[in-house]
Amino acid sequence: MKAVLIGIGQAGGKLTTALASFDDQMGFGAIKGALAVNTARADLQSVPFETVLIGQDRVKGQGVGGDNELGAAVMEQDIEQVMDALDGRISSEAEAIFVLAGLGGGTGSGGAPVVCRRLRRVYDVPVYTLGVLPGTDESGLYQHNAARSLKTLLGEADATLVVDNDAWKSSGESLTEGFDAINQNIARRVGLLLAAGESAHGVGQSVVDSSEIINTLRAGGIASLGYASTPASEDAAENISLITSTTRNALLTGSSLPGGTTAEAALVVIAGEPDRISRKGVEKARRWVEDETGSMQVRGGDFPTESDRLASLVLLGGLERSDRIERFFARAQQAAEQRDEHNNTQASEAEKNFQNDELDGLF
């Protein structure tokens, strides 16, 4: 799938950089353009592609300080500046637009829904969000921001691919190491998904194309992406059960949103050398995902690569709200109630606004 990336805020810019770099290093050619947008000048200095600094008249390049209402207002005010930077970048070659953002901060969580809404009015290709939820150890303000942003995005994007910060973070990592690892994990998984059908490493028996990704995400709402890989035998017949077990691991232990398995649609992509991929194994894996998700819209196919490993990607569209999501919204509600009870007269303006907010959308 040929896609254009737009990173909003600090996390969005880093994610976009990681994904574009992975695609370039692998030679897939799936990423057809990238743009980073932020309210903080310092966060844009290390971005290796075109950037847009917004809100200069209001925040002077210093960021919005975690205030996602201000982030949304600034993006609304300067949206034409962003659209002008995109002019010519989203060509007829692009099959989708991805807006990437961390949903806990101010610029990304506030600005991403604004950008999605405008893009859907202007362009005919699907507009997807890749949104990262804050971990359980991050502040109540981040939880509340993310809850409001996610609820808003579900109405503004064609689908929102959710990544739980806790899902791909290893224990014992520092905060910086954890975020870097998460960015690399997202880049590898999403990069492989977008590259399905774009690589010229051999000819598969049933190669996945962009229409199957689009149809899987057509249900809208929340989406998730699972991944797992394992060494493979040179004999495809010996990999039948291996493909099924790897797919099981991808969905049950390698998902971007753990615990979510009930969905309206799914796509199973098996990547590896064509001679190692068993069609019988792919079909068995597809039927297992059908049973596990309760969906009758489960697609499956190959992604030929030059690797002695087999990897399974499982994309779920129209994901039912899982226990993980319910706990996330409960944490956000609890954080809002705790802030309501906290009468600290020294609170920042952002915190005062936070005290009076309920878990509604940004618009």
Q: What is the pLDDT of residues 215-244, one digit of tens each?
A: 999 999 999 999 999 999 999 999 999 999
Sequence-ordered strand ranges (E) for 15-95 = 31-38, 51-53
Query: Is the pLDDT higher at 341 or at 284?
Result: 284
Across the beta sheet with 298-304, what order do the strands follow? 51-53, 31-38, 3-8, 96-102, 127-133, 159-164, 222-231, 309-319, 263-272, 298-304
C-alpha radius of gyration, the chain, whole number: 20
Query: Is the pLDDT higher at 201 or at 289?
Result: 289
Pairing of strands 96-102, 3-8: parallel
Query: For domain 225-319, which CATH number applies: 3.30.110.30, 3.30.1330.20, 3.30.70.141, 3.40.50.2000?
Result: 3.30.1330.20
Contacting residues for 171 by C-beta, under 8 A, at least 6 apart: none
C-alpha dist (Å) from residue 33 to 14, 15, 78, 245, 337: 15, 14, 21, 36, 42
Contacting residues for 200 by C-beta, under 8 A, at least 6 apart: none
Contact between residue 224 and residue 161 where contact means Cβ atoms under 8 Å apart? yes
> Cα(93)–Cα(2) distance, rounded to whole angstroms?
7
- Domain regions of the chain by residue span: 3-195+322-356, 225-319
Instruction: Tally the C-alpha atoms within 13 A of residue 262's C-alpha that lie toward its C-beta.
Output: 6
> Cα(107)–Cα(55) distance, rounded to whole angstroms?
10
Query: What does the angle CA 222 – CA 224 – CA 227 come to, to the nearest 5 degrees?
Result: 175
**Residue 319 Ramachandran class (φ > 0 left, ψ -120 to 50 alpha, else beta):** beta
Q: How much is the pLDDT for 343?
A: 42
Contact between residue 161 and residue 190 where contact means Cβ atoms under 8 Å apart? yes
**Residue 234: Cβ within 10 Å count:** 10
Q: What is the pLDDT of residues 83-118, one digit of tens each?
A: 999 988 888 899 999 999 999 999 999 999 999 999
Q: What is the pLDDT of residues 299-333, one digit of tens each?
A: 999 998 888 999 999 999 999 888 888 888 888 88
Token duo for residue 23: 């695609």
Contact between residue 123 and residue 97 where contact means Cβ atoms under 8 Å apart? yes
In the predicted structure, residue 350 carries a pLDDT above the cut 50? no
Contact between residue 6 and residue 100 where contact means Cβ atoms under 8 Å apart? yes
Question: DSSP for 40-65?
Answer: BHHHHTT-SS-EEE--HHHHTTB--T
> Cα(221)–Cα(217) distance, rounded to whole angstroms?
8
Q: How confident is the model at residue 31 (pLDDT cuts 50, 70, 90)?
A: very high
Contact between residue 155 and residue 184 where contact means Cβ atoms under 8 Å apart? no
Q: What is the mean pLDDT of the chain?
A: 89
Token duo for residue 110: 């506030």
> φ, ψ for residue 315 (rounded to 5)?
-100, 125
Contact between residue 7 and residue 100 where contact means Cβ atoms under 8 Å apart? yes
Q: How much is the pLDDT for 203?
A: 53
Q: How much is the pLDDT for 201?
A: 54
Q: How confident is the model at residue 140 (pLDDT cuts 50, 70, 90)?
A: confident
In the predicted structure, residue 256 carries a pLDDT above the cut 50? yes
Question: What percent of the chain lies above the pLDDT cut of 90?
Answer: 71
Collapsing DSSP to helix, strand or coil, 19 comes out as helix
Is the domain spanning 3-195+322-356 CATH 3.40.605.10? The answer is no
Query: What's the N-to-C CA distance of the chain in angstroms?
Result: 31
Q: How confident is the model at residue 345 (pLDDT cuts 50, 70, 90)?
A: very low
Q: How much is the pLDDT for 352?
A: 52
C-alpha dist (Å) from residue 170 to 10, 111, 180: 22, 29, 11
